[in-house]
Amino acid sequence: MEVGQMQRAWVEYTRSLFREGFLDAQFQQLQLLQDESNPDFVAEVVSLFFEDSERLLADLTFVLEQQNIDFKKVDAHVHQFKGSSSSIGAQRVKNDCIAFRNFCEEQNIEGCLRCLQQVKQDYYLVKSKLEALIRLEQQIVAAGGSIPMEELSS
């Protein structure tokens, strides 16, 4: 693919992620913070989000497998997950976390387990989308092009 084509693909793909609710305006804020002096800012923050999320998902899975579930712990993990997902603009994950906390407050085990499955699914989905987006960005830069940020708003 030539640069112009990749740039058009990038614009299309990014728009679809916003349109389908995987990402929200906060992700645009991250993109705004990336410039020549910090060309990898989005990729760095996103990879921190992956590490954080996978640790939290493992912890949540473990806590919810126990005989006596410590709902305070569950809530603390979900609270963190909600924070990190909203900081990077992973909208679906963030919304799952809001529902999750409600079930946690009710100490509803069934509800919590369903939310865990949902949040796992949405997390891995947005992870693959973000990875694809960043890969495309790296290809554009490697081919000598720039990320056509301004075209997103038009």
Partner 1 sequence: MAITADSRSQFHVLAVDDSLIDRKLIERLLKTSSYQVTTVDSGSKALKFLGFQEDEQGNPDTPFGSPNNHQEVEVNLIITDYCMPGMTGYDLLKKVKESSSLRNIPVVIMSSENVPSRITRCLEEGAEEFFLKPVRLSDLNRLKPHMMKTKIKNQKQEEDQEELKISEIQSDEQQQPVQPPSPQPQPESQPQPPPPPPALLLQHNNNKRKAMEEGLSPDRTRPRYNGIPTMV
Q: What is the binding site for partner 1 (CB under 8 A)?
A: 26, 29-30, 32-33, 35, 38, 41, 44-45, 48-49, 52, 79-80, 82-84, 86-89
Contacts of 60 (CB under 8 A, 6+ apart): 74, 77, 78, 81, 116
148 exposed, middle or buried (CB, 10 Å; 0-12, 13-18, 19+)?
middle
Taking the least distance from each CB to partner 1, the nearer of 87 and 108 is: 87
Question: What minimum distance in Å lies between the beta carbon of 24 and partner 1?
Answer: 10
**Which residues are 90's β-sheet partners?**
23
Contacts of 154 (CB under 8 A, 6+ apart): none
Question: What minimum distance in Å lies between the beta carbon of 108 and partner 1?
Answer: 21
Taking the least distance from each CB to partner 1, the nearer of 94 and 129 is: 94
Whole-number Cα distances in Å, 36 to 25, 39, 131, 137, 147? 22, 5, 21, 14, 11
Question: What minimum distance in Å lies between the beta carbon of 102 and partner 1?
Answer: 14
Taking the least distance from each CB to partner 1, the nearer of 82 and 129 is: 82
Question: What minimum distance in Å lies between the beta carbon of 23 and partner 1?
Answer: 13
Taking the least distance from each CB to partner 1, the nearer of 32 and 132 is: 32
